[in-house]
């Protein structure tokens, strides 16, 4: 997902997306360890998605600190 789309999400939606992505990463790692993974590059894509969501969450937290 593009960073612009992630910025439009609410904090609850960000938490849900982060949780889903972590579960997907776990499943992909299990598949990789069993040699059943079809697209190994998917692990990298999911990790980058997690990093994007965490970055936006941190930006939100920092902007909240500056405001109040």
What whole-number distance in Å separates Cα of residue 4 and Cα of residue 26? 26
The CATH number for 19's domain is: 1.10.287.310
pTM: 0.89
- What range does the domain containing 59 cover? 3-67
> What tens digit of pLDDT does each residue of 12-46 get?
999 999 999 999 999 999 999 999 999 999 999 99
Q: How far is 21 from 49, CA to CA, in rounded Å?
A: 7
Interval 7-11 mean pLDDT: 92
The count of structural domains within the chain is 1
pLDDT of 68 over the 80 cut? no
pLDDT, residue 59, reads 93
Residue pair 1/52 in contact by the 8 Å Cβ criterion? yes
């Amino acid at each position: 997902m593009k960073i612009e789309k992630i910025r439009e999400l609410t904090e609850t939606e960000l938490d849900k997306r982060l949780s889903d992505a972590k579960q997907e990463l776990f499943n992909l790692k299990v598949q990789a360890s069993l040699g059943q993974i079809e697209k190994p590059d998917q692990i990298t894509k999911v990790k980058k998605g997690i990093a994007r969501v965490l970055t936006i969450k941190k930006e939100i937290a920092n902007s909240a600190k500056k405001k109040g």
